[in-house]
A = this chain, B = another copy of it.
Amino acid sequence: MLGDNRYGKAEIRLVHVARDSPTHELTDLSVSVALGGDLAAAHVEGDNSGVLPTDTQKNTVYAFAAEHGVGEIEDFGLRLARHFVGSQPSITWARVTIERYPWERLGPHSFERSGAQVRTARVTVTGDDAWVVSGVTGLVLMNTTDSEFVGYIRDRYTTLPEATDRILATAVTAAWRHACAEPTDWAASWDGARAALVAAFAGTYSKALQQTLYAMGTWVLAERPELAEVRLSLPNRHHFLVDLAPFGQANEGVVFHADDRPYGLIEGVVTREDAAPAPGAWEASWSF
């Protein structure tokens, strides 16, 4: 029996150059489209009469960029998702996921890629609803002190010594749900949320990465009333103090080995108390 399903074109690499003035504007995106609806015939019989090809989805992304410009990625996602649901009877669910890569201006038509940090948007549209989730990934942060880890459970497999001063480093993936999908100043909202994440990370004396995660989520909600919920995934990028005693050297928080694997992984959700849950904003009907 066929259960939930979806299909689409992933990672459409769209670069848009606004050339209306001698000072060009550059937008560099990866756009992924996923569609759902009445697709049982395609699965069971190979009848494609309800299938909008993924090639056409790709064309639509490019054509919309030319027709309407791109603008904020949340708006671009909403425009695309509404088009797919609105124009094809067989399509009743659309999700457009966008990554925007940062570039810094060098001159009127010259640019340099800046940073690993990527701005993200995930827009989901059904016949009745629309949800907008904005976010960031690849935001790598480190505190060289003001982090400890003590007072945890000890069992027969415990060897970790308590740490009263350690490095805390992570690569933030965070996403925050807008309470409503109406157009707003998406850029100001994103800038504010990102700034709150960074300020909370840098400003929290951390007794656990969980505490930092919770602080980051609550600061975002405190700063941005238009947001209802924040989800965070924080790998704990371990920095181990190197034992230099065999060489007669002290090492008081100076020389570290940055380890690759394994790594801690802390994930959590922070929601506004009065916010109604909106699972449709996040998942497809199922996740892998």
Contacts and interface: CB of A to CB of B under 8 A. Distances in A.
B155 A56 contact: yes
A112 interface: yes
Interface in A34-78: 34, 39, 42-56, 58-60, 62-63, 65-67
Contact of A244 (B62, B214, B233, B286): B62
A interface bracket (residues with beta carbon within 8 Å of B): 35 or more
A10 to B, nearest CB: 4
A120 to B, nearest CB: 11
A183 interface: no
Copies in the complex: 4
Given A167-B15, A208-B46, A283-B287, A235 B10 contact: yes
A266 interface: yes
A151 B51 CA distance: 9
Given A90-B153, A175-B288, 9 more contacts: A1-B272, A3-B229, A4-B269, A5-B268, A24-B144, A46-B211, A109-B144, A110-B201, A267-B288
Interface of A: 1-19, 24, 26, 28, 32, 34, 39, 42-56, 58-60, 62-63, 65-67, 87-88, 90, 103, 106-107, 109-116, 139-146, 149-153, 155-160, 167, 173, 175, 198, 201-203, 206-211, 213-214, 229, 231, 233, 235-236, 239, 242, 244, 246-247, 249-273, 279, 282-284, 286-288
